Amino acid sequence: MAVAQTVELKTWNIHPPGYPVTQALEFFADAIASGTGNRYTVKLHSNGVLGDQPKAVQMMKRGEIDLAEFSLSPLSEAAPGAKVLTLPFLFRDAGHMYRQLDGKLGERFSQTLRRAGYVVLGWYDGGARHFYCANHRVRGASDFSGLKVRVQQSETAIHMVKLLGATPVVMPYREVLDGLKTGAIDCAENNLPAYESTGHMSVAKFVFLSSHTVTPEALVMSAKAWDALGEADRQVFLDAGRRSAERMRELWKTRTEQARQAAGKQGTQFFAMEDYGPIVNRMKPLYEGYFKDPVTRQEMLSILAD
């Protein structure tokens, strides 16, 4: 009697052990092994040991990795239509984002990514990014005038900060703490777990809970690996992906609350977003390019109206 050969699926992950994404991927791996009777196993390569995200995207295109958990930025290079999901102030919070991505909007973008060679198995939480500053209390759009704000090398982020009346400063993330200490920058932006774990909270004591960027991340499988699956196994992968996404979201929610409490104990002051109107109005020039396409415009309006 022939013994079924085990297929090992090479899986890329940028995050370290213990991180919510890594824990959710470990859950996914267990679900795949159980659901397929160990005919498929997920070999997880964490901590970016296989390279950074742009390299991993290319590896997936070449068939060198089978699965990965990606942020939307590198995926949107292959599927430009997905770039709209990275716009600032599009989603108010994670719950708002989930309602959209677990419905028709998520289905449409899954189809877009499928045409680019990626099969979405689950939408993960990329985290809400907030502004945090040293020596400056920022509570609304008008408070950014004249401030130097560290941003990623992203046209969208640079444009956003300019529209707020601040000066965008692109610098490596590892230099942000020193930049805040020396005054090279007044503010930076990231999610709360990153703000707390990097020690930025020791210098930047004022956090504006802007949730200016709430973007999904995606657990994806290469089209090549997906096409090799039988119909029953595809359902196993989809189910495992959905359940791992649910697990990740809960883990992330817990981790974010832990970070907020830890920062609060160290003296961080949090300022809530009280009125989205003025700050969203400032983003109109950024939105205009996306409004030119009727389908994209309708999707954006639908999201903003939800």
Tens digit of each residue's pLDDT (9 = 90 or more) over 26-53: 999 999 999 999 999 999 999 989 988 8
pLDDT confidence bin for 215, thresholds 50/70/90: confident
Compute the distance between CA of residue 289 and CA of residue 68 in angstroms, rounded to an integer.
30
Predicted local distance difference test score (pLDDT) of residue 39? 96
Q: 132 pLDDT exceeds 60?
A: yes
Average pLDDT over residues 62-66: 95
Q: 263 pLDDT exceeds 60?
A: yes
Task: Answer whether 191's CB lies under 8 Å from 140's CB.
Answer: no
Q: What is the pTM of this model?
A: 0.86
Task: Answer whether 87's CB lies under 8 Å from 287's CB.
Answer: yes
Task: Answer whether 286's CB lies under 8 Å from 156's CB.
Answer: yes
Please list, in sequence order, all residues whose beta carbon lies within 8 angstroms of the beta carbon of residue 188, skipping any fewer than 6 positions away: 131, 132, 149, 150, 176, 179, 180, 200, 204
Kindly report the CATH number that applies to the domain delimited by 130-212+267-305: 3.40.190.170
Q: 3 pLDDT exceeds 70?
A: no
Average pLDDT over residues 115-141: 94
Average pLDDT over residues 117-128: 94
Predicted local distance difference test score (pLDDT) of residue 289? 83
Tell me which of 142 and 153 has the higher pLDDT.
142
Looking at the structure, give the CATH architecture of the domain made up of residues 7-126+215-265: 3-Layer(aba) Sandwich (3.40)
Average pLDDT over residues 217-226: 96
Q: 4 pLDDT exceeds 70?
A: no
Average pLDDT over residues 74-86: 74
Compute the distance between CA of residue 48 and CA of residue 89 in angstroms, rounded to an integer.
29
Q: Where are the domains of the chain?
A: 7-126+215-265, 130-212+267-305
Looking at every residue in the chain, the average pLDDT score rounds to 91
Write a three-state SS string for the chain. CCCCCCEEEEEECCCCCCCHHHHHHHHHHHHHHHHCCCCEEEEEECCCCCCCHHHHHHHHHCCCCCEEEEEHHHHHHHCHHHHHHHCCCCCCCHHHHHHHHCCHHHHHHHHHHHHCCEEEEEEEEEEEEEEEECCCCCCCHHHHCCCEEEECCCHHHHHHHHHCCCEEEECCHHHHHHHHHHCCCCEEEECHHHHHHCCHHHCCCEEEEEEEEEEEEEEEEEHHHHHCCCHHHHHHHHHHHHHHHHHHHHHHHHHHHHHHHHHHHCCCEEEECCCHHHHHHCCHHHHHHHHCCHHHHHHHHHHHHC
Average pLDDT over residues 268-277: 90
Fold agreement between 7-126+215-265 and 130-212+267-305: yes
Predicted local distance difference test score (pLDDT) of residue 120? 96
Predicted local distance difference test score (pLDDT) of residue 2? 47
pLDDT confidence bin for 1, thresholds 50/70/90: very low
Average pLDDT over residues 192-214: 94
